A and B are shown apart, each in its own frame.
Chain A
Amino acid sequence: MNPAAVVTILIVLVIVLALVVYLLAIIVELRTITADLNVVNAAVVTLVRQTVPVNDVVTTINRQLDAGVDLLEGLLVKKAGMTDAIGLVEGLYPAAAPKSFRKQGRPKGSVPRIGEVYTRGTLILARLGREAPIAAGNPAGVAIRDVRYASASSRLLYPDPRRETGSSRDNLPRTPVIGRDSPHQYEVKEEAYKPRKRMSADAVAPGPPPVRAPTRGPGIFGAKADPTPPPAAEPEAPEDTSGRSSAMGLRPWER
């Protein structure tokens, strides 16, 4: 046989062998991929099956919530007016006014800045009871309670039997005025605006701590008691009869 033909056959065999080896490896990998994709496919089918009713349920929930929002917005506009309603919503929820009152025909223009003047609680109570100062300018009329004398007017609603005897709050003296310009000037003591007095050193000089006398006999292990007699008690300081003393000195009313 021609040697060139032999070499050609060998080279072709090597090529075919390489093809077989690599293609077998590729087949194995593709089988693995197919098996994994079957698992993924099952999971995706489950996902699709579980999410089928989500769209309808969420749509229904949004429709119900929109209905509730429209209802509340309509009630607020009806009771407070469009201008105050927009200001109230903007005060409670900043930047929410442009998205609100669409179905009520929200007018274009500046939003009244109610939230910068009144607190949130006042805003909430503003249109509920018309008792807050914000309701003073309500086009429906004046507020139920007098804005300036609200506490006095409510107090008149209840009987006050002590008013005639003089012990009522109306008959009590007013809170005293304090300060430099007060009508009643109190006595100014010399020690005012000065450091507080302290007791003299000999009156409160601490001596050595007293030694306790032994109160028991020898211990159970036979230790003898200290034969030295206890020191004599120190003479007590003369009792101060002018007043009770403390670490800081006499109290102001005892000086």
Chain B
Amino acid sequence: MIFWWIGNIVLLVVVLPVVVVLLKGVLTASKQIVPNIQAIITVASAAVKDLEPIPLLLTTQSYIIKTVETVANYGGSLDVILDDA
């Protein structure tokens, strides 16, 4: 009978506080995740908007190809006009 009462005291003094502390820690950690995910959402949305002009790279590519072709033609003309070293 004494041991039963000792067990009850241990439950009340040790087990219950430990359970409460552990659950409270898990809850606090999960609550801290939410604002971080909100920040990630904001950044991801901004990144999506920043990457919208990526298709313009195709235009840049075509311009660069034309520019290099023009430079090649100009270099060919210079090669004919100027004397070699």
Footprint of B on A, CB under 8 Å?
Answer: 2, 4-5, 7-8, 11-12, 14-15, 18-19, 22-23, 25-26, 29-30, 32-33, 36-37, 39-40, 43-44, 46-47, 50-51, 53-54, 57-58, 60-61, 64-65, 67-68, 71-72, 75, 77-81, 84, 127-128, 130, 138-141
Query: Shortest distance in angstroms between B36's beta carbon and chain A's nearest beta carbon?
Result: 9
| Chain A, interface SS category | helix
Minimum C-beta distance from B71 to chain A (A):
5
Q: Which residues between 41 and 81 of chain B lie within 8 Å of chain A, taking CB atoms?
A: 41, 44-45, 47-48, 51-52, 54, 57-58, 60-61, 64-65, 67-68, 71-72, 75, 78-79
Q: Mark B20-47, 1 if CB is under 8 A from A, else 0.
A: 1001101100110110011011001101
CB distance from B81 to the nearest CB of A (A): 9
Q: How far is the CA of A68 from the CA of B69 in the complex (A)?
A: 8
Decide: A47 near B60, CB < 8 A? Known: A8-B8, A22-B26, A71-B75. no
Chain B residues lying within 8 Å of A14, measured Cβ to Cβ, are: 16
Contact present for A7 and B65 (CB under 8 Å): no
How far apart are the CA atoms of A171 and B27 in the complex, in Å?
103
Inter-subunit contact B16/A140 (CB<8 Å): no
B78 touches A50 (CB 8 A): no
Interface residues of B (CB under 8 A from A): 1, 4-5, 7-8, 11-12, 15-16, 19-20, 23-24, 26-27, 30-31, 33-34, 37-38, 40-41, 44-45, 47-48, 51-52, 54, 57-58, 60-61, 64-65, 67-68, 71-72, 75, 78-79, 82-85
Most A CB within 10 A of own CB, among B19, B61, B64, B85:
B85
Interface contact A43-B61, CB-CB below 8 Å: no
A29-B34, A50-B48, A61-B64 as given contacts; A39 in contact with B84, CB under 8 Å = no
Residues of A within 8 A of B30 (CB): 26, 29-30, 33
Closest to A11 in B: B11
B34 to chain A, nearest CB (A): 6
**Shortest Cβ gap from A136 to chain B (Å):** 14
- Is B52's CB under 8 angstroms from A40's CB? no
Could you say which residues of chain A place their CB within 8 Å of the CB of B40?
A: 36, 40
Chain B residues, Cβ within 8 Å of A40: 37, 40-41, 44
A36 with B34, Cβ < 8 A, contacts A43-B41, A44-B44 known: yes
Output the least CB separation between B78 and chain A (Å). 6
Q: Which residues on the A side are within 8 Å of B45 (C-beta)?
A: 43
